[in-house]
Structure 1
Amino acid sequence: MISLNYSNQNLQNRSFKGQQLAGADFSGSDLRGGNFTGANLIGANFQQVKMGQSQRQVNVLVITAIVSPIILCGSCILLVEVLTTLLSEPVLNFLFGALPFLFFLAEIFLRDSLIVQFPKLSNIFGMGAIATLFLAMLLLTFWFVMIAFPSFSSSPAQGCFFLLLMSVSGIVSFRILQWLRQLIQSHSGTSFRKANLTDTDFSYSLVRNTDFSFAILTGVCVFDWKLPIHNKFISIDCKYLYLKAEKQERQPREGNFRLSELARILDKLGND
């Protein structure tokens, strides 16, 4: 029989994806970076847990931001070289003609996999695009530096103009760097996507960078729920919550939430 006692443990980066964990005890554990996607967690105890990004996840995101511009630029250069030197016009015409058929085959055989992986892939490619843009602007700024100061000896007006362009480029580079930093900081850590969290107890828990998208949250106890930043509640199924310990103070008192009521409760928890 599998033990369902995971209390007071370091469970960072552990995967419980799709597992049957109804009634499991995770109280007091560190769940940063944990993956509970599609898990059955009905009645589980998550009191005093810590959720969010693990250091490993942050390191991977930083490495991705550094390496992705190199890979993206190298891939583009390689693709251009292949298309211009190796492929003849008949071959190109054949490939373009076969594209609809290839997309049709991909839709049949890879549809489910692509749907599941699309959010993760889109985040990675988005981060790569922003990192590449930052690198391009940084190189442009250094180029302006290299030509601005020597220009003062021959033409002070031209030097001032390039100095102005350098300043604008530097400001834009800094703004893009902030954008990239925010993207890393807002990336999900702990995942409860499509998990069944009916009647779970999250009292006294720190909920940060946690993805509850498409999860069932009906009957969850959120007493003293610290909900600071970067959490996702996309298309959740939640008919009611408990705002006090031991599943007291049901909201709403009767019936089920309307969409606006649930959003107001979650917003209040995030601002407390």
Structure 2
Amino acid sequence: MTRIESFLSKLFIGCFCVVSSAAYADDAGSLRLSVGGFYSNSDSGMEVTSPLTDKEFDLDFETDLELVEQEFLPFIELAYWLYDDHVLYGDWKRLHRDAQNTTITVPYEFQHPDTGETFNVQAGAKITTTFNVDIARIGYGYRFYKDESWDLIATLGLHVMWLELGFSGDLGLCVDETCEVVNIDPNQVVFTEMTAPLPDIGVLAAYSFADNWRITAHGQYFYLKVDEVSGSLFDFSGGIEYQITPQFFTDLSYKYYKVDVDVEGDFTDMNIYYGFHGPMLTLSYMF
């Protein structure tokens, strides 16, 4: 079992649920399906070392490696109310990107945290970068206050992220401070399928200001360190919802999400961060 898998197992034991802003309902036994997507502005990268100065710096995947910054992300969520004040839910979103950079302008090197191998990328090199992110959440929420205008829900849960980060092309493999340029097979990646789970706590709020209209807000934050893995997460959204029919809803909101993960390896530490923000449109149907 890897460090990440061990971390995931411990978090599932200690924290098993979460809730989302699309989980509002009034009746026990009601099921709400929400689908949609949002146009994201992504910010991702990792900490690397400059071979020129031997100092660490943040390698920006969008600026330095030419990964697409703006892209549409799909979203799906299912929420089920067990009782009037208790809800279970799960959701999923994804962002898969790859890019070919024909001329690297920022030289860098990084070390695999487990094998100790050092990879060097020189200016002018041709590199293919793959960075795939899938985010899944399962959860529970408790409504602790409700009147004619306000609806407040406390949340406790878990985000699970699947990260796949790969580099191929003109990489230098360094041994005993001697670097030899090797061509890494396009199907070979340096880091793959890193699962980074993060628990969170938060609050959902909805305010009804007119018939069939209400303002919604959702905020979550958490920081945790278990064994060699630590990380922080911030998740916030705010928007406005309109009830078209008793069963059909639409919601327009703005979402901000940021996660930072540190892995302490046998040979070196590795830091990967990922975040996105942008407008989100959701359509929901109540069964």
TM-score range, shorter chain: under 0.3
Query: Larger strand proportion, structure 1 or 2?
Result: 2
Query: Larger helix proportion, structure 1 or 2?
Result: 1
* Bigger Rg, which one: 1
